[in-house]
Amino acid sequence: MSLLRVDKICRQFGGLAANTDVSFSLEEGEILGLIGPNGAGKSTLFSIIAGALPPTSGQVWFEGKNITGLDAAACCAAGIGRTFQVVRSFESMTVLENVTVGAYNRAKSTKAAQKLAMETLEWTGLAPQAHRLAVELTPPEKRRLEVTRALATKPRLLLLDEVMTGLTPTEAQAGVELVRAIRQKGITVLMVEHVMEIVMPLVDRAVVLNFGKVLTEGKPTEVIKNPEVIKAYLGDRYAQGH
């Protein structure tokens, strides 16, 4: 049984079809990349899987249960954690407080939530910043804070929305190592990422969206050679280099 199954998802915004008949599965322990040009419908699909947006039609199955229509809190409780494309830290709170907000989804008391938050910060390497205000963090630290807060909800599936965007190659490499460590802990990862040089060596499989539809899916090495993917997204320059 797949951990996640997205089945014929459609989402309309007025006359605009952001997702049309999107279907794919995600196996336990996989890292799956969701790629495609701007406006292809990636964030919309993330929001539908995470319960932030209902689909117009179609279904989302998680651990064999139909979770279509559950709200974001229920999806989080079910084991789906997410980050946002635009970083949403609580700027006037400390790093520890930010992560404690996530930990409350699992912990029954403030003390237990703070303990879980601190353990998660230690894991992601942000513990030395625990008592700083979120506003004081550098952009890569803020992205790491987002991931830490999502991890503190103890997800089985983590949705990462462009967490490497805007990072230097060294910072992105640290991000890649964090994603690998997350999988090592048994957490399945679905990630949206634009930087192909980062995402392709990292993912087991990639699903390519274009104009809201699945263009193709497969192993990264196959996907980047697909002429339709090159035309729609990668461009000839990337293809020639690989």
Ligand X SMILES: Nc1ncnc2c1ncn2[C@@H]1O[C@H](COP(=O)(O)OP(=O)(O)OP(=O)(O)O)[C@@H](O)[C@H]1O
Residues that bind ligand X (CB under 6 A): 13, 16, 18, 36, 38-44, 85
CB 97 → ligand X: shortest distance, Å?
Answer: 29
SS3 17: strand
Name the token pair of 190: 């679905």
User: Of the two residues 59 and 85, which places its CB atom closer to ligand X in the complex?
Assistant: 85
Q: How far is the CB of 203 from ligand X (least distance, A)?
A: 17
Exposure letters 60-80 (e unless 16+ CB within 10 A, then b): bbbbeeebbebeeeebbebbb
Tell the smallest beta-carbon distance from residue 46 to ligand X (Å): 8
Closer to ligand X at the Cβ: 93 or 195? Answer: 195
Instruction: Pick between residue 113 and residue 200 the one whose CB is nearest to ligand X.
Output: 200
Q: Least distance in Å: CB of 162 to ligand X?
A: 7
For 227, residues 6+ apart whose C-beta sits below 8 A from its C-beta are: none
Residue closer to ligand X, measured from CB, 96 or 163: 163
Minimum CB–partner distance for residue 11 and ligand X (Å): 8
* Residue nearer to ligand X on the CB measure, 4 or 9: 9
Listed as own residue / partner, the contacts of 37-43 with beta carbons closer than 8 Å and 24 or more positions apart are 37/210, 37/232, 37/233, 40/209, 40/210, 40/211, 40/212, 41/11, 41/209, 41/211, 41/212, 42/161, 42/192, 42/209, 43/85, 43/161, 43/192
